[in-house]
Amino acid sequence: MATKKSAQSSTKGLEDLFYEALKDIYYAERKILSALKKMARGAESQELTAAFEKHRDETEGQVERLQQVFVIFGKRAQGKTCPAIDGIIEEGGEILEEFQAAPALDAGLVAAAQAVEHYEVARYGTLVTWARLLGLNDAVPLLQQTLDEEKATDEALTQLGETSVNERALQDAA
């Protein structure tokens, strides 16, 4: 059975999707900045604290690049509440509370941080593709740089988990 589309929904296009996703990730990055500060303070190992602090510094640059993308797109930089990132960050906060001073804290924080990274990689990958399609040639390298940073952070977290924090959580709990 065919349904009629409303006039409003038929006028929404890729530019609208791009703008909504841009507002979404702008909100997310600003929330992530706050969460990274808490995670850095809560981490047990110096190497994980350093990783969170490094990513916090990168995230500040990512927010600045997003502001540039808004300008290129001709819109004011503004966020839009993102329930997905709110939920992911909330889970990380729960780990901080429930595993405080526990052997598995850092392993849980790495897992929580990777959930954030995977969300960001998905969002930025989409934004890069859409920016290309929309001919936003000046925005593409800005978004691609952030995508590359997010992928590198995810890989660094994987290495940290595989080479130290997961093993420490297992040994310390035994």
**SS3 readout for the chain:** CCCCCCHHHHHCCHHHHHHHHHHHHHHHHHHHHHHHHHHHHHCCCHHHHHHHHHHHHHHHHHHHHHHHHHHHHCCCCCCCCCHHHHHHHHHHHHHHHHCCCCCCHHHHHHHHHHHHHHHHHHHHHHHHHHHHHCCCCCHHHHHHHHHHHHHHHHHHHHHHHHHHHHHHHHHHHC
> All domains of the chain, ordered by start, with CATH?
14-169 (1.20.1260.10)
pLDDT digits (tens, 9 = 90+) for 36-72: 999 999 999 999 999 999 999 999 999 999 999 999 9
Tokens linked to 24:
């979404």
Q: Residue 55 and residue 60: Cα distance in Å, rounded?
A: 9
pLDDT digits (tens, 9 = 90+) for 130-141: 999 999 999 999
Question: Among 129, 124, 126, which Cα is nearest to 145's?
Answer: 124
What is the pLDDT tens value at each position of the chain, 174 positions in all?
444 555 556 789 999 999 999 999 999 999 999 999 999 999 999 999 999 999 999 999 999 999 999 999 999 999 999 999 999 999 999 999 999 988 899 999 999 999 999 999 999 999 999 999 999 999 999 999 999 999 999 999 999 999 989 988 888 666
Question: Among 34, 77, 37, which Cα is nearest to 54's?
Answer: 37
Q: Residue 172 and residue 158: Cα distance in Å, rounded?
A: 20
